[in-house]
Structure 1
Amino acid sequence: MLRCAVLDDYQGVALGLADWSRVRATSFRERFADQDALVAALLDYEVVVIMRERTPFPAEVFARLPNLRLLITSGMRNAAVDLAAARAHGVTVCGTASSSTPPVELTWALILGLTRHLLTEAGALRSGGPWQSTLGTDLHGRTLGLLGLGKIGSRVAEVGRAFGMDVVAWSRHLTEERTAAVGARPAPTKEALLSESDIVSVHLVLSERTRGLIGERELALMRPTAYLVNTARAAIVDQDALVSALAAGRIAGAGLDVFDIEPLPAGHPFRTLPNVLATPHLGYVSELNYGTYFREAVQDIDAFLDQAPIRLLT
């Protein structure tokens, strides 16, 4: 019977969400301190299941795990896995389905939490502080700017329209037909979107073209009353520039679910800036997605054991 390691099971739920009886499965809830610790823990495992991009698998990790035969990632795309190295070392890499609904819902949780100052007001209520101290920002009639209009961005747009917002979208190859299909309009440029939007929400895939897409210059184009929301990838927004803009009050606030370093270091400004509403990368963390991830991970293992692997990443 093969040994299977399930990594980054923060909530300790993985082994209860699927039938792992064909392998000897062990759940690791804590992150490994470094690559040496990761390799030492996994040396005897033939199967490893990883959660999104929490634990990278670069070429040097594959080279140091000679017993590894099968790597399974949640989702069908994982930029933290070196697929060429996996092939070179004879490791099969498979994935699972992943719903876009949970990140859409979290995006709106962040938008509503920011614009209605829920942390401030709820905290004051619990602590006996002032009864009402803020004015909420109305969504109806405001402009929602979307950077990216794929599966997630499109659904965020539909909700924005339901709130009565004017929805504008931009990406490099966005067409009028695509925006019209979700009741949005195309921005002529990224700069135009940033300057006219009351809320800017990021829904782009991280690539060399999108890395650092929003920097100091772009943040300076935003209104001082505008909010930035990022549930996509941290590196799309220059993190130092964002901290500076928030600390100086050059934008009203930010809703963040993704960070350059995860978990976020204890002393990081995003933990303490009063105009930041931050969550610990919860976009895809839901009962629906976790049930799918681990059930399909087991299906991937079963198929591999039957010498007919499915959902291969190439």
Structure 2
Amino acid sequence: MKIFFTAEYSPEELEPLYELGEVVLDGWATGLPKMPEEELMEKTRDADILIVSYDDVTRKVIENASKLKLIACTRATPVNVDMKAAKERGIPVIYTPGRNSDTTAEFTIGLMLAIARNIPMAHKALKEGKYTNLNDQKKETKAGLTVDMIWDMETTAPYMVFKGTQLKGKTLGIVGYGSIGKRVGKIARAFGMALLIYDPFQCQIDIEEIGITKAESLESLMSNADFVTCHMKITSETKGIINKKMISLMKPTAYFINCSRGAVLDESALIEALREKRIAGAAIDVYEREPLAINHPYVAELDNVVITPHIGGATNEVLVNHTIQLVSDVKRFLNGERLLYEYRS
């Protein structure tokens, strides 16, 4: 049983896989770039099982691998696997849903704090030498007073320039209440936030409790939330769901957060709203096109947006999670048991 393996992984959790067959590590698993199609075709010609993270498992790859019996992809959705070609060959595809749910939820809250409290902006200003002294001079304290550590209280002081918004007491609108959305909500509740949920595929009785309300419509959520965060997969229904109309409904004091997929958002509409200061700000990890262009307004122009380069799911714990998931399911497959993580498109 040859297992051709190009995924990122946890070495400790991968050990049981070596007992199941001949494991050949290559490509991304060994620190190499994404493997070209022709190379992947050649190297998987006699593979029984193919495990990838980012390599494109195209029809050509699948049809060329005459012994192939199972494909595994360490992604929340196996977008880089030709599901139609796999289905035609009767080859099941396993994936790793939920592998990065906690990681992405934590990152979402981090972005909320960053934009609400202007943390990156303040950090950047200090690194550029703003609001600092030329030397380590000490302020004099007047007789009878205690040393006051405040920097200064002019209108141009950082205390005024970077004054933000606290999360406690605010309403967080969560668009998509699946694995990640629920975790975001749980953390936000610990901050003292109320939750407003939009998810047409979940019943009101499965969502609502004290402090958590299901929105009657997306329009209602966009109008009433102080923070809006998206956690949806891309489907025909969700593509562009946060459009110009929806953004226009947001409060002028509201913030928009996106750690799901760039395609859920009309990016030009958000840029227009940020440019005209019609909303307070945004924090974005995913984009219409990636990587971002150096002259993109998020990079070159706007000062009311926090941007990160699609790293919401980038932690070592994610590798541990998906390695455990795929090794478990490969073992089940070889034992003829029902698969836990078979993807059905």
Shorter-chain TM-score tier: 0.7 to 0.9
Unaligned runs of 5+ in 2: 133-157
Deviations 1:215-270 (A, max 9, x none): 11111111222111111222111222223322333222221222233344444333
Relative to structure 1, is the Cα distance of residues 61 and 211 closer, same or farther in structure 2, using a 3 angstrom cutoff?
Answer: farther
Deviations 1:164-183 (A, max 9, x none): 22321222244432332373
Where does residue 245 of structure 2 map in the other structure? Answer: 217
Where does residue 343 of structure 2 map in the other structure? Answer: 313
* Equivalent residue for 2:226, pick from 174, 198, 214: 198
Deviations 1:96-153 (A, max 9, x none): 3534211211110010011011111112223321262311112222221111222322
How far residue 282 of structure 1 moved from its aligned partner, in angstroms, is 2.5
Deviations 1:67-121 (A, max 9, x none): 7553211256434433232121354422235342112111100100110111111
Relative to structure 1, is the Cα distance of residues 162 and 18 closer, same or farther in structure 2, using a 3 angstrom cutoff?
Answer: same
1:241-256 matched pairs, under 5 angstroms? 241-256=269-284
1:38-77 matched pairs, under 5 angstroms? 38-43=36-41, 44-45=43-44, 46=47, 47-51=49-53, 54=54, 57=57, 59=59, 62-63=62-63, 69-75=69-75, 77=77
SS at match of 1:180: coil
Relative to structure 1, is the Cα distance of residues 211 and 128 closer, same or farther in structure 2, using a 3 angstrom cutoff?
Answer: same
Q: Are residues 1:297 and 2:299 paired?
A: no
Where does residue 83 of structure 2 map in the other structure? Answer: 83
1:65-214 matched pairs, under 5 angstroms? 69-75=69-75, 77-96=77-96, 98-99=98-99, 100-130=101-131, 132=158, 133-181=161-209, 183-214=211-242
SS at match of 1:125: helix
Deviates more, 1:265-274 or 1:104-113: 265-274
Where does residue 290 of structure 2 map in the other structure? Answer: 262
* Equivalent residue for 2:14, pick from 14, 18, 27: 18
Q: Does structure 1 conserve the Cα–Cα contact (< 8 Å) formed by 2:74 and 2:95? A: yes
Relative to structure 1, is the Cα distance of residues 299 and 174 closer, same or farther in structure 2, using a 3 angstrom cutoff?
Answer: closer
Deviates more, 1:75-84 or 1:103-112: 75-84
Identical positions, percent: 29
SS at match of 2:26: strand
Q: Does structure 1 conserve the Cα–Cα contact (< 8 Å) formed by 2:172 and 2:195? A: yes
Where does residue 266 of structure 2 map in the other structure? Answer: 238
SS at match of 2:71: strand
Relative to structure 1, is the Cα distance of residues 270 and 59 closer, same or farther in structure 2, using a 3 angstrom cutoff?
Answer: farther
SS at match of 1:232: coil
Deviations 1:174-217 (A, max 9, x none): 44323323731222221121122211011223211111111111
CA–CA distance in 1 between the matches of 2:294 and 2:11?
Answer: 29
Q: Does structure 2 conserve the Cα–Cα contact (< 8 Å) formed by 1:158 and 1:183? A: no
SS at match of 1:18: helix
Q: Does structure 2 conserve the Cα–Cα contact (< 8 Å) formed by 1:74 and 1:98? A: no
CA–CA distance in 1 between the matches of 2:273 and 2:66?
Answer: 47
CA–CA distance in 2 between the matches of 1:182 and 1:156?
Answer: 17
The letter of the residue matching 1:294 is T
CA–CA distance in 2 between the matches of 1:64 and 1:227?
Answer: 49
How far residue 305 of structure 1 moved from its aligned partner, in angstroms, is 6.0
Q: Determine which structure has more spread, i.e. the larger CA radius of gyration.
A: 2
Relative to structure 1, is the Cα distance of residues 58 and 39 closer, same or farther in structure 2, using a 3 angstrom cutoff?
Answer: closer
CA–CA distance in 2 between the matches of 1:201 and 1:299?
Answer: 33
The letter of the residue matching 1:222 is M
Deviates more, 1:294-303 or 1:271-280: 294-303
Q: Are residues 1:228 and 2:270 paired?
A: no
